[in-house]
Amino acid sequence: MNKSALLSSFPPPWPKDLRPAIRAINAARPRRKLVVLDDDPTGTQTVHDVPVLTVWDEPTLRAEFAEPEPCFYILTNSRSLTPVAARELNLEVARHLKGAAAYQSPRAAAHGLGDRHSAVPAAAPFTIVSRSDSTLRGHFPAETDALAEELGPFDATLLIPYFEAGGRLTIDDVHYVAEGDKLTPAADTPFALDAAFGYRHSNLREWVEEKTAGRIRAEAVHSISLRELRIGASMEEPTRAVTEKLLALPRGSVGVVNAAHPRDVDFFALAALRAELAGRRFLYRTAASFVASRLAIGAAVYQPPNQPAAASGGKGAAAPATGGLIVVGSHVPKSTEQLNRLLAAGAVMPVELPVGELLKPSRANAAIATARAAVQVHLRAGRDVVVFTSREVLTGRDAAESLGIAALVSEALVAIVRSLECSPRFVIAKGGITSSDLATKALGVKRARVLGQLLPGVPVWQLGPETKFPGLDYVIFPGNVGGADGLLDAWRKCAFTSTPDCVCA
């Protein structure tokens, strides 16, 4: 389907910038936090200057509620888990959030006051977002059911998979993947064939019925249409009709939000905020774009710095600069295309990790050791290197077995990065599960800060002091984002601007 032709039948996006009104509501509620549970680290694609936690114990969450930022992410990486494990993880995070938000010191509780000593208020209100993949791959409804069980009841669960940088649009309740001016229904793309999260329906109402195994019928799913988001009640109160529709949703219902332009999501975010001010509680299941609209923040283009030579730890002269590291675990067709373009440029040293060998207990360790040694040699010599999994897609007999294979592959990549004896000049991780596991299991991230986007939809985290390489800027490149030269462009931006000398152990 032709995108321009389809959208020409709709009114244009709302002409007025709605972000000032969104900011005003947020500013009037400075204590309310937006808490985003992210099922892999690619969900920070649209934000900047916000923290990301990879742990969620109550003391850590209490401290985060006391910070001034209006939002924080919790990286759950639940997309790598089985449905049962993902549900249990979401229940655990929800319980800890509820406990941390309600925390009072004994002295404050005795006097009926907020905790003046720790700056944590008597109750920290928050809105919850369950962020998942823009191509509908994730544990729905297992995760939203778990959150509703622990944090509910909610007036409605609202589905918003729109993602601008990835070309993910929802029109007349059908979710599309755009390539240029071509629209393909999501169920007709390779994403719908995912071994763990596959689906048959592109119409989101029918998708809900499919994913809930008929518990929620398609005709019971509500919808906010594109026309409703583009024809406002008035210039002064454009969102009134959509707000009233949200106020009228039956308790516990599910709704679909259409969107084909960032202004559509801004319009909805403002309407939802006004419904919340009227007392409604919503659970949002969204892709990345919604959070930026809810916070009314724009994109921040990250530029890798020209860094000064690093000191050599007091041992004398600085060591020669090491190479940069790219790790490609994602095997979706777009990732493979981008990897092939990078390899064809001949500017990085290739190290292939054969997936078939990893699945053979007698050969797995040798395959990992060979790849690890090659990476170390190239980095020490100052050469940029890409370590990538072989491109054949090996799946199991069912979704659980396929997730187990993905976990084995990810563990091998973690072992390689965790063993590094040199601090790379930069690290680019390609793929959601890959980037999450490298961050938490190889680099030891507990709290990072989103600096911005290297390319549209490609976030950069600054690693904290607790990590293997403190202060390193870590590039998270989602598997399904970018054009054919996306990975090559990311390497060029990092390779030609990131020039510190690093010390090898």
Residue 18 lies in a domain: yes
φ, ψ (nearest 5 deg) of residue 475: -95, 125
Residue 136, CA atoms < 13 Å, CB-side half-sphere: 32
Q: Are 441 and 54 in contact (CB under 8 A)?
A: no
Q: Do 382 and 486 have their domain in common? A: yes
**pLDDT given at position 497:** 64
82 Cβ partners below 8 Å, 6+ apart? 399, 400, 403
The token pair that represents 170 in the structure block: 């929802």
- How far apart, in whole angstroms, are the C-alpha atoms of residue 206 and residue 201? 6
Q: Do 83 and 224 have their domain in common? A: yes
- How far apart, in whole angstroms, are the C-alpha atoms of residue 53 and residue 62? 12
Match 């040199």 to its residue by tokens: 422
Instruction: Choose among 256, 289, 269, 265: nearest CA to 43.
Output: 289
Distances (CA, A) of 391 to 205, 331, 352: 34, 6, 9
* Residue 383 structural domain: 325-495
- How far apart, in whole angstroms, are the C-alpha atoms of residue 469 and residue 396? 35
Residue 226 lies in a domain: yes
Match 């249990």 to its residue by tokens: 88
Out of 275, 295, 315, pick the residue that ends a domain. Answer: 295
Q: Do 163 and 268 have their domain in common? A: yes
**pLDDT given at position 104:** 56
Residue 87 lies in a domain: yes
Match 């675990």 to its residue by tokens: 329
- How far apart, in whole angstroms, are the C-alpha atoms of residue 306 and residue 290? 33
| CATH code of the domain covering residue 375 | 3.40.980.20
Residue 118 lies in a domain: yes
Residue 272 lies in a domain: yes
Q: How many domains does the chain have?
A: 2
Q: Do 73 and 112 have their domain in common? A: yes
Match 């020039």 to its residue by tokens: 499
Torsion sign, CA atoms 449, 454, 455, 458: negative
Q: Do 271 and 381 have their domain in common? A: no
**pLDDT given at position 35:** 98
- 181 Cα distance to chain centroid: 25
The token pair that represents 200 in the structure block: 């048959």
Out of 241, 274, 295, pick the residue that ends a domain. Answer: 295
Q: Do 279 and 342 have their domain in common? A: no
| H/E stretch holding 353 | strand 349-353
**pLDDT given at position 451:** 94
Q: Do 338 and 288 have their domain in common? A: no
Please count the other Cβ atoms lying within 10 Å of the Cβ belonging to residue 313: 10
Q: Do 221 and 354 have their domain in common? A: no
Residue 181 lies in a domain: yes
Q: In a 3-state reduction of DSSP, which class is residue 484? A: coil
pLDDT tens per residue, the chain (505 residues)?
A: 899 999 999 999 999 999 999 999 999 998 899 999 999 888 899 999 999 999 999 999 999 999 999 999 999 989 989 999 999 999 999 999 999 999 755 544 444 444 434 444 456 799 999 999 999 999 999 999 999 999 999 999 999 999 998 899 999 999 999 999 999 999 999 999 988 899 999 999 999 999 999 999 999 999 999 999 999 878 889 999 999 999 999 999 999 999 999 999 999 999 999 999 999 999 999 999 999 999 999 778 888 765 433 333 333 334 447 899 999 988 888 899 999 999 999 989 999 998 888 888 888 899 999 999 999 999 999 999 999 998 877 677 777 777 777 788 889 999 999 999 888 999 999 988 889 899 999 999 999 999 999 999 999 999 999 999 999 999 999 888 889 999 999 999 998 764 443 333 3
| CATH code of the domain covering residue 203 | 3.40.50.10840
The token pair that represents 389 in the structure block: 């999994």
Q: Do 355 and 456 have their domain in common? A: yes
Q: Are 112 and 73 in contact (CB under 8 A)?
A: no
Q: Do 145 and 251 have their domain in common? A: yes
Torsion sign, CA atoms 73, 224, 256, 254: positive
Q: At what angle do helices 19-28 and 262-277 cross, to 10 degrees?
A: 30
Out of 295, 315, 341, pick the residue that ends a domain. Answer: 295
The token pair that represents 496 in the structure block: 């030609």
Q: Do 35 and 176 have their domain in common? A: yes
Instruction: Choose among 270, 299, 224: nearest CA to 24.
Output: 270
Residue 291 lies in a domain: yes
Residue 502 lies in a domain: no
Instruction: Choose among 221, 225, 216, 242: nearest CA to 170.
Output: 225
Q: Do 266 and 203 have their domain in common? A: yes
Q: How many residues in total does the chain contain?
A: 505
